[in-house]
Structure 1
């Protein structure tokens, strides 16, 4: 019986202490000062074109690649809060030919609004690696927001002939880092 009374007394003391609390006036207007700056990183595009794909029936050809559905800016929240976008590119050429790579940003009427160009030297036994970051802010960011589609043009420069048995490849990997400001 005594253990029961001690437990009961201890419980009453704890409940009494918990019933006294400190409080202060809460300022719910602080929510108006809220400022969030999230950063997102996402894969943008990737391709790996073997040297043999630049040859069709014994004739050399340039390659054009479409990336459909680049419509990230259709949502008002994203359009209104995007402050900056960094596009990182890494190109690896192991083909004994130089290339010019163009990345075209197209609007809804398929007009080019912005172009990024890469001149990639020929490989001479070791891979040629090109790294580049394109930063979109202010005016260029406004152009990026009108983009609905991306298109890659891969053009070969003159050089040694390629065949269906040619070795090597042309690779591109890219990512986007976007910076938002939510107030």
Structure 2
């Protein structure tokens, strides 16, 4: 009787090759960089000065697994200038030998009494993602443009916030 029951049991052929079609596509969102510079910090010994922020390390791009699986990265930038002076902000992407790989530039108009947020998204995919994988450092260069002279009592600030959305493909 048991033999007869087993011969009528349900079974299907198992396909273990399905594991070869398995893909994970995780997405990570993280803060990239942020700063706020008061207007008076652009004045040193009574003289207006441009600023250069030392190179910031990109630790996440050193992980071999991360580099292998990185398919796309979107960098989002938001800049708010409340200083009555225009600026150019250049973000330099550098390799391990401090060689320039790419420059991301922003033209920031002078504050005129109403808030004007400058937003920009930089998409890294295909050949550009390969460049990003070689990036080891990020440097900020802030150059002053037109506007009245600044002094130790000048109001306002220059703010930058940024984030990265990273897309991976794990097969």
Pick from 135, 152, 156: which aligns with 1:147?
135
Q: Secondary structure at the match of 2:167?
A: strand
Query: What residue is the counterpart of 2:107 in the other structure?
Result: 119
What is the TM-score of this pair, normalised by structure 1?
0.85
Q: Is the 8 A contact 1:71 1:147 kept in 2?
A: no
Q: Structure 2: 5+ residue runs without aligned partners? A: 1-8
Residue deviations 1:116-135 (CA, integer Å, cap 9, x gap): 00000000112221000000
SS at match of 2:135: coil
Greater share of helix? 1
**Higher-Rg member (1/2):** 1
The residue aligned with 1:138 is: 126
Conservation of the 8 A alpha-carbon contact between 1:122 and 1:128: no
* CA–CA distance in structure 1, aligned partners of residues 97 and 129 of structure 2: 19
Equivalent pair of 1:97/1:122 in contact (CA under 8 Å): yes
Quick one: which of 29, 49, 53 aligns to 1:61?
49
TM-score (norm 2): 0.91
Cα shift at 1:70: 0.8
Gaps of 5+ in 1: 1-20
* Counterpart position of 1:158: 146
Question: SS of the counterpart of 1:124?
Answer: coil
Aligned length: 163
1:34 aligns with 2:34: no
